[in-house]
Amino acid sequence: MQVCTTIAQIRAQVAAYKQAGEVVALVPTMGYLHEGHMTLVRRARAEGDRVIVWIFVNPTQFENPDDLAKYPRDTERDLAMLRAEGVDAVFLPEVSEIYPEGAETIVETTHLANVLHGAVRPGHFRGVTTVVTKFFNIIQPDVAIFGEKDYQQLQVIKRMVRDLHMPIRIVGQTTVRESDGLAMSSRNVRLAPEDRIAALILSQSLNAAEAATSAGTTVENLRQVIAETIATEPRAKLVGCDIVAAESLSDITGPLTGPTAIMISVEVGGVLLIDQRVVTP
Ligand code: PAF
């Protein structure tokens, strides 16, 4: 596995792959890898001949300097995991190389970045689209893999790639789940045993909403199904439930007319968990 720390190194590596006619698949990460990332890596392996992973804790997507400082890092462990997975190259640059002195250019999806999570995290998605554009320009992959778990991020990236005519195929990888249905997250380890069982209510509420989905179902009805299902679990508290058009992320009301994204956040035993499902009437 090649570990590249400079733009020149990774470009030379990618040029060699392309010279050999190989399809380059990219997995973007901020490191501190877990099983969810490994699923993205395996998907990249299925989509391309060469797999490149970038590890970069992107400062411009953190609104709070404290969160950035506290972001967990363990590069040696990350590299060992990627090596074991047979990754071809890792790009691990310094912040100063990606954001040179005086850097002022930003990339922003003006609507999608500022709704839902974007409305409460101003500047977050602008930081994501800016850094992803930089890495796409540096690496020029044929395909890039993003997790569906960060549903809004995936839609933002797809829109940016379409709008800016970037010749890169964006693949959304379905959320990895524990065998009982709980979406994998580094937060799950913080759940006490009884909360771990209670947390199943997230996927169960989405199952109930999906079962209730039919051409006649309304957004209001789905919202009620989610709220009522979560309310059956006394250890869980529904914090947020966004039901929006799956691609535009626009607010919708009344009967479902097309693919609809349901995004929930639920607090269980003091731990905030998220899950999402796209349903089609
Ligand atoms: O999803 C992430 O880990 C980050 O937002 C990404 C896409 C690597 C950009 O920094």
CA angle 176, 177, 179 (to 5 degrees): 140
Q: What is the pLDDT of residue 37?
A: 94
My answer on whether 199 and 119 are in the same domain is no
Measured from the Cβ of residue 167, the count of other Cβ atoms closer than 10 Å reads: 9
Q: Check whether residue 212 and residue 190 sit in a common domain.
A: yes
Give the end of a domain, one of 110, 139, 173.
Answer: 173
Question: pLDDT > 70: what percent of the chain?
Answer: 100
Count up the domains in the chain and report the number. Answer: 2
pLDDT at 215 over 80: no
Q: Tell me: do 103 and 236 sit in the same domain.
A: no
Could you report the per-residue pLDDT of 64-105, keeping only the tens digit for each?
Answer: 899 899 898 999 999 999 999 999 999 999 999 999 999 999
Note the maximum CA span of the chain.
59
Nearest CA to ligand 1 atom 8: 29
Considering only CA atoms, which residue is closest to atom 7 of ligand 1?
28
DSSP 85: T
Is there a single domain that holds both residue 25 and residue 156? yes
Q: What number of residues does the chain have?
A: 281
Nearest CA to ligand 1 atom 2: 29
**Do 133 and 199 belong together in one domain?**
no
Element (H, E) at 228: helix 219-231
pLDDT tens per residue across span 232-266: 999 999 999 999 999 999 999 999 999 999 999 99
Kindly report the CATH number assigned to the domain that includes residue 271: 3.30.1300.10
- In a domain? residue 281: no
Residue 275, pLDDT score: 93
193: containing domain: 186-275
Q: pTM value?
A: 0.91
Q: Are 165 and 101 members of one domain? A: yes
Predicted pLDDT at 186? 74
> What is the number of the ligand 1 atom nearest to the C-alpha of 54?
8
Please, are residues 176 and 183 in contact by the beta-carbon 8 Å criterion?
yes
Q: Give the DSSP per-residue string, 122-183.
A: TTHHHHHHHHHHHHHHHH--SEEEEETTSHHHHHHHHHHHHHTT---EEEEEPPPB-TTSPB
126 and 218 in one domain? Answer: no
Q: Is residue 178 part of a domain?
A: no
165 is catalytic: no
Instruction: Tell me whether residue 31 is annotated as binding.
Output: yes
The domain boundary residue, chosen from 173, 203, 235: 173
Probe ligand 1: pick from 26, 27, 30, 62, max atoms within 8 Å of CB?
30
CATH number, residue 142: 3.40.50.620
Residues at CB less than 6 angstroms from ligand 1: 28-30, 58, 61, 128, 131-132, 150, 153
